[in-house]
Structure 1
Amino acid sequence: MSEGMLSVANRWTVRRYALPVGALLCCASGSAFASGFALLEQSASRLGTAFSGTAAAADDASTIFYNPAGMARLTDKELMVVASGVLIGSEFKNGNSQAALGQPLGNDGGDAGDWNAVPAAYFAMPLNEQFAVGLGVNAPFGLKLEYDDGWMGRFQALNSEIQTYNFNPSVSWRLSKQLSIGVGANYQRIQAELTNAVNYTAVVAQGLQSLVAAGQLPASSIPGLIQANGGLEGHTAVRGDDSSWGFNAGLLYEFSDDTRVGLSYRSTVDYTLEGSVRFRPATTSNPIGAGIIAAASAPGGQLATGPASVDLKLPDIATASLYHRMGKVELMADIAWTGWSSIQELRIVRDSGQVLSVTPERWEDTWRYAVGATYQLNDQWKLRGGVAYDETNVPDSTRTARLPDSDRTWVAVGAQWNPGNSWVVDVGYAHLFAEDARMNQDDGNPAARGFLIGEQESAVDIVSAQVAYKF
């Protein structure tokens, strides 16, 4: 046994320290549920201005998502299809990380990001001069990060993936020449999967402490037995899904043909994700260690595979937008608030009511600020640009490798091609400069999970294209 491992084992013997089972579960390392994991990428035209003026632009069918009141300004039926690709780069830079009990430290995890597809489609139809209806299909929340096997944070996170699907029928009503209102229902489905490695050497150590407390083993035997069961690594995965309802609403006030403001609101959506927690335990030739693992993995055991659920309340979002046109130039601005404080903890519960783990999140509400402009180059081409600043919802104290979120700055460009034959094509690109995120996380139990100390360096590139047909 190494000197460092012997020192840890001796401290356990003296202090009779026992590992809470929740510290061994994948979800105890932090929520995977960006700010946070909200996806604004529902429109290439809005991406080109860094999502400024989203609730006031009201110039195509994507207004169904951003402000349904904006449908009142559309004069033609419009079908729109949007395809966005989000390239996430996220790499951990080790500072002074410490290995978990009985385990090697591991590698740096590689690039946890990759390309992610965000599709959307919209159909808007004016009924008369006062009413319009529409339908949007999109993905308002999502996340995927996957680290290399064997990395130093493997006991905290390996794969974190969330997908949502949203169906959004909407209606708008023009109350007067200046004022329009809109409302939509949102039927939303969520699927999530969280995985990580499990330190079964720590599981054995917990069991040894129980045996010592029961008088079945002498305390002096613990260092040797931990050494005999060193390097035991298993795997766990939590999967779940659910469907729920929410709503969105907005108003649009037009001071003139050239100036308007918009206000929009998207409600919270409450979920109870039901699924399973599955463990793949490690094996050992040591009979005492094998017995402890078998007992923990048996039906009713602390690390048994079985049904589990998680309650999750996705945030509400309020946006205020401004649009102003001066000749060939359009100016836009956004201020948006997201209620991420709806997520204060992540509690995983078995179907028996037993709580597997409770992870403090303490997420905070965030603000986003964006300004943008377009320039009408000629009858066919319009150019776009914008910048934005996006606050993180994750405090330093609860940031984990599952969501290494940080404040970021957007720089975006785009263009529109309108050949004048009912087809309109938009493209957009944005680069997000993310601040380095400090990582100082042991999940309350460095013996079970190690101590992840360093910085996460991240950047995001977004490309988007949309095709609209008016008829």
Structure 2
Amino acid sequence: MNKQIGSAVNRALAGRRYVLPVGMLLCCASGSAFASGFALLEQSASRLGTAFSGTTAAADDATTIFYNPAGMSKLTDMQVLVVASGVRISSTFHNENSQAALGQPLGDEGGDAGSWNAVPAAYFALPINDQFAFGFGINAPFGLQLEYGNGWMGRFQALNNEIKTYNFNPALSWRVNKQLSFGIGANYQRIQAELTNSVNYTAVVAQGLQNLVAAGQVPALLVPDLIRANAGLEGHTAVRGDDDAWGFNAGVLFEFSDDTRVGLSYRSTIDYTVEGSVRFTAPTSSNLIGAGIIAAASAPGAALATGPASVELKLPDIATASFYHRMGKIELMADVAWTGWSSIQELRIVRDTGEVLSVTPERWKDTWRYAVGATYQLNDQWKLRGGVAYDGTNVPDSTRTARLPDSERTWIAIGAQWNLSDAWVVDMGYAHLFANDVPLRQDDGNAAARGFLIGNQKSAVDIVSAQVVYKF
């Protein structure tokens, strides 16, 4: 009997597409992960203390390799620098009138999706002569970690969202004359991503029943009872992938005097083809027709089958202009930075056969960041730092998702430098980011399959960082 039902289901579903769940399930499993706000500036404790103002003009330690390689021309000693940063993200969803997915309980608000995340970095700078210097940096320019509880009301849109990057950055600077220096670096970067969510297999069964009714295999009058018999069927999907690619960074430093200078830098886009797999874990239905539909949808080559998948991704380019001026014991700094997030207008998920699994509209826009900061030389051993900044968001309200509910942010930062000796320097920094509350109105294109999230996302970020410099 079970084989007969399974054969009927396969015949009815052959050549048909699961308009209700398939493309959008994969979309919500992967599309929103690569969102605005996962670029990481936290490559330096010294720069954190001034809210990352003066990044391309300060040029007072080896972290300039990341921000502006031309700044190595200001370093007089060979040095090794190690940075350890911790980023604490708090992100909570507050329900207003969300709607449950078809055949599923609504669920809870998911708790705090954020946690502490480590951002390490290390640098080596070597002045070769009066004109040239070489440097090498290892850091993580992009990253994300948000994880919601399994039973939350947005589980069919997002559960775990993790992105990691590893960047290896050799660089060279050239001092043309006393006023002008240039720098350039190569960036070999690797990305890894894991994105998961629950799958509403009750909606899969409902779509399959529609197809069976259209094929004359099931009477329409039986559909409501069959959906109730398959209520609460919940599975899981995970998208994992990785890739590596090359980019570059370049910069210029112009010194008006020993006390005043400006820096300009550019980091190129990096094009990825993130390849990996999409994996579905299906539930078991005690109803024979429901079990047949799930088996047909999960069979090799079918819509919800596990298999290879990939997405083309173009991470943004970044241009930064900085100002530095010293007045006795006080240093003043400022930054203006542009990030080209409009490089991501959609995310298209493709199987290795060339079949398009989903297309997610993103419509991201370019963003600007502004920062000002200052330092005060308290004595020979201690320097105090402070700064404020404003970060725009590239995510329109219409495409914001629970994967990364990005918002505008205001920074307040403090820091200090401790010169232990001529060889050893320790920097410490702390920043708190006040994020605007943002609306979340998202059904991922299909409220029956994934529910309709209606509410607000409240977020905040705390960053602590320490670095140690050893000068040879």
Q: Specify if TM > 0.5.
A: yes
Q: Note closer, same or farther for the CA distance 1:250–1:263 as it changes in structure 2 (3 Å cut).
A: same
Partner of 1:438: 439
Partner of 1:136: 137
C-alpha deviation, 1:216, in angstroms: 1.3
Q: Residue by residue, what CA displacement relative to the aligned partner does 1:312-355 show, whole Å, maximum 9, x if unpaired?
A: 10000000000000010000000000001111111111111111
- Cα RMSD (Å): 1.0
Matched residues in 2 for 1:311 and 1:192: separation?
13
Partner of 2:108: 107
Q: Residue by residue, what CA displacement relative to the aligned partner does 1:268-301 show, whole Å, maximum 9, x if unpaired?
A: 0000011100000011010000000000001011
Matching of residue 421 in structure 1 with residue 422 in structure 2: yes
Partner of 1:458: 459
Partner of 2:11: none
1:54 alignment partner, SS class: coil
1:410 alignment partner, SS class: strand
2:221 alignment partner, SS class: helix
2:310 alignment partner, SS class: strand
CA contact (8 A) 2:372 2:387 kept: yes
AA in 2 matched with 1:216 = Q
Matching of residue 470 in structure 1 with residue 471 in structure 2: yes
Q: Residue by residue, what CA displacement relative to the aligned partner does 1:384-425 show, whole Å, maximum 9, x if unpaired?
A: 000000001111000000010000000000000012231000
AA in 2 matched with 1:270 = D
CA contact (8 A) 2:169 2:187 kept: yes
Matching of residue 155 in structure 1 with residue 160 in structure 2: no
C-alpha deviation, 1:25, in angstroms: 2.4
AA in 2 matched with 1:202 = A
Matched residues in 1 for 2:19 and 2:196: separation?
24
Partner of 1:183: 184
1:24 alignment partner, SS class: helix
Matched residues in 1 for 2:36 and 2:197: separation?
24
CA contact (8 A) 1:19 1:206 kept: yes
1:59 alignment partner, SS class: coil
CA contact (8 A) 2:276 2:310 kept: yes
AA in 2 matched with 1:314 = L
- 5 Å-filtered alignment, 1:190-269, equals 190-269=191-270
CA contact (8 A) 2:341 2:364 kept: yes
- 5 Å-filtered alignment, 1:40-189, equals 40-189=41-190
- 5 Å-filtered alignment, 1:369-448, equals 369-448=370-449
2:33 alignment partner, SS class: coil
Matched residues in 1 for 2:394 and 2:43: separation?
21
Matched residues in 2 for 1:20 and 1:213: separation?
18
- 5 Å-filtered alignment, 1:359-378, equals 359-378=360-379
Matched residues in 2 for 1:377 and 1:31: separation?
46
Partner of 2:12: none
Partner of 1:331: 332
- 5 Å-filtered alignment, 1:240-319, equals 240-319=241-320
Structure 2 residues without counterparts, runs of 5 or longer: 1-17
CA contact (8 A) 2:157 2:197 kept: yes
CA contact (8 A) 2:86 2:116 kept: yes
Matched residues in 2 for 1:154 and 1:35: separation?
21
C-alpha deviation, 1:28, in angstroms: 5.3
2:32 alignment partner, SS class: coil
Q: Residue by residue, what CA displacement relative to the aligned partner does 1:125-147 show, whole Å, maximum 9, x if unpaired?
A: 00000000000000000000000
2:293 alignment partner, SS class: helix
2:402 alignment partner, SS class: coil
AA in 1 matched with 2:195 = L
Q: Residue by residue, what CA displacement relative to the aligned partner does 1:180-199 show, whole Å, maximum 9, x if unpaired?
A: 00000000000000000000
Partner of 2:359: 358
AA in 2 matched with 1:145 = L
Matched residues in 2 for 1:103 and 1:437: separation?
26
CA contact (8 A) 2:441 2:452 kept: yes
CA contact (8 A) 1:404 1:456 kept: yes
Partner of 1:22: 23
1:31 alignment partner, SS class: helix
Q: Note closer, same or farther for the CA distance 1:35–1:329 as it changes in structure 2 (3 Å cut).
A: farther
Partner of 1:10: none
What TM-score comes out, normalization by structure 1 length? 0.95
CA contact (8 A) 2:29 2:158 kept: no
C-alpha deviation, 1:18, in angstroms: 4.7
C-alpha deviation, 1:20, in angstroms: 4.7
CA contact (8 A) 2:42 2:48 kept: yes
Q: Mean Cα displacement is larger for which, 21-30 or 403-412?
A: 21-30
State the identity %: 82
Matched residues in 2 for 1:28 and 1:91: separation?
20
CA contact (8 A) 1:72 1:173 kept: yes
Partner of 1:322: 323
AA in 1 matched with 2:336 = I
Matched residues in 2 for 1:30 and 1:247: separation?
26
Matched residues in 2 for 1:238 and 1:361: separation?
19
Q: Note closer, same or farther for the CA distance 1:34–1:88 as it changes in structure 2 (3 Å cut).
A: farther
C-alpha deviation, 1:24, in angstroms: 2.1
Partner of 1:7: none
